């Protein structure tokens, strides 16, 4: 029984570690890149950008100070024949961009 419990604990830890590593990688703002350039780059990579803007300047005159991962937005998908597991299709991933003007 101890071996079974150890095997379950080990498997659970490996699954958790794998899921943790599967999170999307979001690039940090590049030096000399305007906030508008950062937003354009992230959108071209398929992200939906949510701005947290401080100041009233035009976005191309602002600086991106941070890029943080957001949530995956999914919808129910079609499961494989014979499978009881629910399937979620990824629509897009959001990122938060902090902007200072």
pLDDT tens string 53-82: 999 999 999 999 999 999 999 999 887 777
Residue ranges, the chain, pLDDT below 50 = 1-23
Q: Where are the domains of the chain?
A: 25-100
Report the topology of domain 25-100.
Answer: Trypsin Inhibitor V; Chain A (3.30.10)
pLDDT of 33 reads 85
pLDDT of 84 reads 77
pLDDT of 27 reads 60
Contact status, residue 49 vs residue 78, Cβ threshold 8 Å: no
Which residues contact residue 80 at a Cβ distance below 8 angstroms, ignoring those fewer than 6 apart?
A: 87
Tokens (6 digits) for 48: 């939906």
């Amino acid at each position: 029984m101890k071996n079974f419990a150890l095997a379950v604990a080990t498997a659970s830890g490996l699954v958790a570690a794998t899921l943790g590593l599967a999170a999307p990688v979001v690039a940090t703002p590049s030096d000399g890149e305007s906030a508008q350039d950062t937003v354009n780059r992230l959108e071209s990579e398929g992200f939906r950008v949510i701005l947290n803007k401080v100041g009233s300047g035009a976005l191309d005159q602002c600086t991106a100070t941070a890029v943080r991962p957001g949530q995956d937005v999914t919808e129910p998908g079609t499961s494989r024949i014979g499978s009881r597991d629910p399937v979620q299709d990824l629509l897009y991933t959001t990122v938060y961009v902090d902007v200072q003007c």
